[in-house]
Amino acid sequence: MQNSPGSDEIPEPNFAERVRTMLHRGRTGALSTWSAKLEGYPFGSIMPYGVAPDGSPTFFVSSLALHTKNLRRDPRASLLVGATAAEDPLAVGRVTLVGEVGPVEDAVLDAVREDYLARHPSSRAWVGFGDFSFHRLAVRDAWYVAGFGAMGWIDAADLRAASPDPLADASDEIVAHMNENHADALVAYAKAFAGLDATVARMVEVDRLGFRLRAEAGGQASEARLAFPAPVATPEEARKALVRMVREARERLGAR
């Protein structure tokens, strides 16, 4: 059962689900391989990626690229993926996925190709070239940093079992809509459910379980996470939950 808005224990997606959501929304990361030329030294590359059905990152690489030559010699690698940078890039989520890179198996090659080309349409021009092929990072472990003070290792099995948040593709639109059109509702949420004496409030992020607000009053800023009355699975369900919550918020505030 989900906690009610404003309760002490606000439900949040676990780390594995957050990482699957981040990978789903992202397109490019930083791939680190072991240099074949300078033994013992890491070599970094900007790497567009896709996501295989099991959640592992996939790459469409040329055999002529230095990172591919490095991987041919030593398949151990890591991929760093970060959320869209805010004013402080250390305050947003990021994950380092560690494992071995190898060719994509025939059984999932069609699904990997379809996903990758949907994410990176310009790569279709290279599909017919013999020196390009699809590879994937078989994740052994992942280190996730949610922001200041929240971080931890994620087991590869937990990552494979997780799914992207159902609002992942609509979350930016929901956040923008609330901030542009419902400033009064956001202030009501902050006051009624988080106990904040807010004069201004903005939605920072939203997921199937709830959302985070940043509120200001008297030049002081604070953040709070609020839970939906029940988990949502679609943008329409999120809209209904937000409408229900603003009604309850105004009732609470009117009764004070």
In total, how many domains does the chain have?
Answer: 2
Q: Is the dihedral of CA 27, 159, 95, 207 positive or negative?
A: positive
Q: Summarize pLDDT for 17-67 with one digit per residue, the tens.
A: 999 999 999 999 999 999 999 999 999 999 999 999 999 999 999 999 999
Instruction: Give the range of the structural domain holding residue 218, as residue numbers without chain letter.
Output: 171-254
- Which range has the worst mean pLDDT, 68-72, 86-90, 223-227? 86-90
Is pLDDT at 90 greater than 80 in this prediction? no
Confidence of residue 220 (pLDDT cuts 50, 70, 90): confident
pTM above 0.85, yes or no: yes
Give the pLDDT mean for 72-78: 97
| Whether residues 24 and 111 fall in one domain | yes
Residues 150 and 178 reside in one and the same domain: no
Residue that is last in its domain, among 161, 181, 207: 161
Q: In the listed set 106, 141, 161, which residue is the last one of a domain according to the structure?
A: 161
Return the amino acid letter for 9.
E
Mean per-residue pLDDT, 166-193: 96
CATH number, residue 214: 3.20.180.10
- Judgement on whether residues 155 and 179 belong to the same structural domain of the protein: no
Please provide the average confidence, as pLDDT, over all residues in the chain: 92
54 & 27 share domain = yes
Is residue 9 in a domain?
A: no
pLDDT score of 128 = 82
Assigned domain for 6 exists: no
pLDDT in tens, 193-213: 999 989 999 999 999 999 999
Nearest CA among 166, 198, 172 for reference residue 185: 198
Task: Transcribe the chain into DSSP letters.
Answer: -PPPTT-SS-----HHHHHHHHHHH--EEEEEEE-SSSTT-EEEEEEE-EE-TTS-EEEEEETTSHHHHHHHH--EEEEEEEPPP-SSGGGS-EEEEEEEEEEPPHHHHHHHHHHHHHH-GGGGGGTT-TTEEEEEEEEEEEEEEEETTEEEEEEHHHHHH----TTTTTHHHHHHHHHHH-HHHHHHHHHHHH----SEEEEEEEETTEEEEEEEETTEEEEEEEE-SS---SHHHHHHHHHHHHHHHHHHHHT-
Domain of residue 30, CATH code:
2.30.110.10
Residue 89 has pLDDT above 70, yes or no: no
| pLDDT band (50, 70, 90) for residue 244 | very high
Indicate the residue among 132, 161, 190 that finishes a domain: 161
pLDDT of residue 150: 85
State whether 76 and 139 are in the same domain: yes
Which of 34-48, 142-156, 230-244 has the lowest average pLDDT? 142-156
Q: Does 45 reside within a domain?
A: yes
Q: Which two tokens stand for residue 19?
A: 């990482």
